[in-house]
Amino acid sequence: MVRVINAVFVKSSPSINEALDEGVMEVLFLGRSNVGKSSLINALCCKKQLAKSSSTPGKTQLINFFDIMYEDDEKSRFVARFVDLPGFGYAKVSKETKKKWEESLNTFIKKRVSARLFVHLKDARHIDLEIDKNVDEYINSILRADQRILKIYTKADKLTQKECSAILKDKNALLVSVLKKRGINEANERIFDLLFGKCA
Ligand SMILES: Nc1nc2c(ncn2[C@@H]2O[C@H](COP(=O)(O)OP(=O)(O)OP(=O)(O)O)[C@@H](O)[C@H]2O)c(=O)[nH]1
Ligand SMILES: [Mg+2]
């Protein structure tokens, strides 16, 4: 099993211009506001307050970088970076501010050379939202040959057993609950494999 043995916050930046230097492979956590991006980063790193989460949508407003150290069974260590992004579709700001945020988010996602993996989070209770279809299409439209996508369904604790089984029929689906600490190890394994494993 692979584990995150160290995770530190490094920087917040409003746009790609102030971002950290490229170099370390990055995992970008994307999804609509309030889906659980910051909470999942904390769970993956076993640190409750690493990324700021809140029940109020729109909590994450900057691009936040965290340096991560993975360790595998042979005690080999691997360095990566997690990037917590603002959510898509947060409406409670002025149109102008929203446009500005979306532009800088879009530029970062498109232009970031170090971005290797897009983790697209969806709320397991609402799997067919228009906004998620748009996010799917968007990521696929900009995906480079060296980039991968991982879909994670969040808030599994809100589902019945039957609903969980329905989601898991898709063999690639990962279902997690930060609240019940479910699926977190699997998510770490999958992220690690996509970053450091052999290409399929
Ligand atoms: N029940 C349940 N609630 C969760 C889970 N994960 C996150 N939440 C809650 O969902 C709310 C939003 O979580 P965040 O992690 O801040 O969501 P976010 O996607 O980072 O939101 P923005 O920063 O606004 O884009 C918080 O109240 C969390 O406690 C989960 O697995 N189960
Ligand atoms: Mg957040």
Q: What is the pLDDT of residues 91-141, one digit of tens each?
A: 777 888 888 888 999 999 999 999 999 999 999 999 889 999 999 999 999
Residue nearest to ligand 1 atom 12, measured at CA: 34
Residue nearest to ligand 1 atom 28, measured at CA: 55
Q: Which residues have CB under 6 Å of ligand 1?
A: 31, 33-39, 53-55, 57-60, 86-87, 154-155, 157-158, 177-179
User: Across residues 170-184, what is the average pLDDT?
Assistant: 94
CB of 112 closer than 8 Å to CB of 40: no
What whole-number percentage of the chain has pLDDT above 90? 82
CATH number assigned to the domain covering 3-195: 3.40.50.300
Q: Which pLDDT belongs to residue 96? A: 87
pTM, full prediction: 0.95
If you write DSSP's letter for every residue of 139-188 in order, what string do you get? HHHH--TT-EEEEEEE-GGGS-HHHHHHHHTSTT-EE-BTTTTBSHHHHH
Per-residue pLDDT tens digits for 137-175: 999 999 999 999 999 999 999 999 999 999 998 888 899
Give the position, in ligand 1's atom list, of the atom nearest the Cα of 86.
25
Please choose from 12, 44, 54 the residue to mutate so as to test ligand 1's pocket, defined by most ligand atoms within 8 A of CB: 54
